[in-house]
Homo-oligomer: A and B are copies of this chain.
């Protein structure tokens, strides 16, 4: 009986367990499923578990839960660890490996497949896309992003309205979003307010504290209140990104909004609040988008079908059809191409024309 392993890697999304359920629920009857605990760590340290009926029921019951049900986490998946991972998969007799993750995961799957081949073992690998940052190439967008974008967009709209009503007390609020080196989420945050109601600071564009405080000061001459959205990945004045910590080689970004808040308070002499939209961007179940939920399931399902078809070295992807209504095809592409595409930042056409970006975004949130 074919042995199939499934794992989840990296930061969770609010719909990552829906992809897991989509995968598990659509596997052929005659396979034995194994689950990998804590992502790459589970591969490298041989934490694989044979999934019996009870376990499968638990997985399916968690389909609407936030967090990665199998355990995900961060782990430096070095060359040595990858070699060990392949040995472990071999020891468990695993024929096929599917992983839900982002850029790092797609690259890791490719490497494991190569390593297995070098060892004379055949390992079928399929990647299932997931990222709130939307920085994955070769797919129109990745599951997880729509819900994060929805949370950010509603937050900015509702916090703007709250701010407007407090205009005799405070006039500027700064909100920090996730996104790493890409501005997708920060840009999405402005989707439900009028363009002049918020300034967006994206990592794709040079930003300086001086010009931003100038701009805020200028805007406040003509309008009562203003929200500034700051992506965690911006580099103020071309200096490096601001981080909270570096753990196991992983930089945890955070603090870009607080830096602007200090500068604005000092420069304009007014009370300015800065807030981080925080973990809820990837976790809040109340904010999940219907489209995102549905597509998260479909990419999991598609991965199961690809495995059954004997396809390997592919990532499931979402292809948007040029249709008047929102219409997508769930397809697949080479892992190699995902790797070659690299970290996907916002294209200039979206940065230059916010409304065009919001037309693209609207069906997702």
- Shortest C-beta distance, A170 to chain B (Å), equals 8
Chain B residues positioned under 8 Å from A286 (CB to CB) = 150-151, 154, 284, 286-287
Interface size on A, residues (CB 8 A): 57
- Say whether B38 contacts A162, CB under 8 Å: no
- Say whether B247 contacts A273, CB under 8 Å: no
Contact of A8 among B12, B14, B75, B165 (CB under 8 A): B165
Measured CB to CB, the nearest residue on chain B to A265 is B245
- Say whether A248 contacts B169, CB under 8 Å: yes
Q: Which of A150-175 contact B (CB under 8 A)?
A: 150-151, 154-155, 157-170, 173
- Shortest C-beta distance, A110 to chain B (Å), equals 23
Chain B residues positioned under 8 Å from A108 (CB to CB) = none
A331 in the interface, Cβ–Cβ < 8 Å? no
Contact of A75 among B168, B248, B250 (CB under 8 A): B168
- Say whether A161 contacts B248, CB under 8 Å: no
- Say whether A74 contacts B276, CB under 8 Å: no
A348 in the interface, Cβ–Cβ < 8 Å? no
- Which stretch of A28-36, A60-68, A81-89, A314-322 is in the interface? A60-68
A280 in the interface, Cβ–Cβ < 8 Å? yes
- Say whether B283 contacts A74, CB under 8 Å: no
- Say whether B166 contacts A280, CB under 8 Å: no
- Say whether A66 contacts B161, CB under 8 Å: yes
Bound Cα distance A284, B157 (Å): 9
- Shortest C-beta distance, A158 to chain B (Å), equals 4
Chain B residues positioned under 8 Å from A169 (CB to CB) = 73-75, 247-248, 250
Contact of A276 among B151, B271, B276 (CB under 8 A): B276
Question: What is the interface of chain A, defined by CB distance below 8 A to chain B?
Answer: 8, 11-12, 14, 38-39, 41, 65-75, 150-151, 154-155, 157-170, 173, 244-245, 247-248, 250, 252, 271, 273, 275-280, 282-287
Q: A159-B280, A273-B279 are in contact. List 17 more A-B contacts (CB 8 A).
A: A12-B162, A38-B167, A67-B166, A69-B165, A71-B164, A71-B165, A71-B168, A72-B166, A73-B165, A74-B168, A157-B285, A162-B279, A162-B283, A169-B247, A252-B271, A275-B279, A286-B286
Pairs A–B under 8 Å by Cβ, sample size 8: A12-B161, A12-B165, A66-B158, A72-B165, A155-B283, A159-B280, A162-B283, A277-B278
